[in-house]
Amino acid sequence: MRFSYVTLFEGLIASYFEDSILKRAIAKELLSVEFFNPRDYTLNKHGKVDDYQASGGAGLVLFPQPLFDLLRSIKHSSPEAYIIFPTPSGKLFTQNDAKRLAKKKHLVFVSGRYEGIDERVIETFADELFCIGDYVLTGGELPSLVMSDAISRNIKGVLGNEDSLSMESFESPLLEAPCFSKPPIYESKSVPSEFLKGNHAKITSLKNKMSESKTKYFRPDLFSRFSAKH
Ligand code: ADE
């Protein structure tokens, strides 16, 4: 998988890859990461990329020319490039999207800053628009990272242990059961005693019950979908 990030702030994204599981995936050549700065594509001598909104109103918008030239050149050298714009007005990004996009060869994430990106860029180049949650961030860099992290862990070989993929929350319709480690009692709080007895059928059944109660409590929306099917 090739990830390209179009951003004015490469450092925000690059630092994540210095210290994560994804660093190992890059070393194993399962992933490659590259950056494109719209400022390098401006025709004005000051490297200006933003301007006032045509409609008036506060805030600057990234104007079309640098992004058109940049994205055209990416598409020209990599026709399979699939272009994603993170934006609060996109559809909600889910685990299904992460799995589906993990099958692509080349994903391009275009991060806006300021008030946003001129709509004509989006109209011309977007394959998909995604929102990562109902809140507004100061730019597209964090959402791009969130999505690329979720996507890359679905690429074969990126996680050391492929089992960790199939058992986890959102792979199943319920949230994951709580997990515990050693010691059995810590500050008078105990690991559920069933977990310590080694009967795997009983442990699984208890974990399923815990999953259900946790989902019912924290995510009633997921729980009703689950109940409707079971
Ligand atoms: N840009 C700013 N906020 C965002 C969000 N919640 N999701 C995706 N892109 C964004």
H/E stretch holding 130: strand 128-131
Give the end of a domain, one of 100, 121, 154.
154
pLDDT at 175: 96
Lowest mean pLDDT, pick from 6-15, 169-178, 194-203, 207-216: 169-178
Distance CA 172, CA 50 (A): 44
Q: What is the pLDDT of residues 89-99, one digit of tens each?
A: 999 999 999 99
Q: How far, CA to CA in Å, does 57 sit from each of 16, 54, 111?
A: 35, 9, 21
Average pLDDT over residues 48-60: 94
Domain that holds residue 200: 167-228
Inter-residue contact 69 to 126 (CB < 8 Å)? no
Q: What is the pLDDT of residues 126-185, one digit of tens each?
A: 999 999 999 999 999 999 999 999 999 999 999 987 656 666 667 678 999 999 999 999
146 annotated as ligand-binding:
no
H/E stretch holding 33: strand 32-36
Which residues form the pocket of ligand 1, taking CB atoms under 6 Å from any ligand atom? 86-88, 131-133, 135-137, 140, 143
21 annotated as ligand-binding:
no
Distance 135 CA to ligand 1 centre (A): 7
pLDDT at 165: 65
pLDDT at 164: 62
Q: CATH code at 187? A: 1.10.1270.20
- Locus of tokens 């409609």: 55
**Does 161 map to a domain?**
no
Domain count, the chain: 2
Phi, psi of 95 (to 5 degrees): -60, -35
pLDDT at 113: 83
Could you please report the per-residue DSSP string of 73-129? HHHHH-TT-EEEEEEEEEEEP-HHHHHHHTT-SEEEEE---TTEE-HHHHHHH-SEE
pLDDT at 153: 94
**Does 10 map to a domain?**
yes
**Does 43 map to a domain?**
yes
Q: What is the pLDDT of residues 210-229, one digit of tens each?
A: 999 999 999 999 999 999 98
Distance 131 CA to ligand 1 centre (A): 5
Q: CATH code at 150? A: 3.40.1280.10
Q: What is the ipTM of this complex?
A: 0.98
Tokens of 96: 């299904």
Distance 85 CA to ligand 1 centre (A): 9
pLDDT bucket at 85, cuts 50 / 70 / 90: very high
Residues 50 and 150 in one domain: yes
Q: Which residue has better confidence, 109 or 229?
A: 109
Q: Is the pLDDT of residue 62 over 70?
A: yes
**Ligand 1 pocket mutation pick from 84, 137, 138 by most atoms within 8 angstroms of CB:** 137
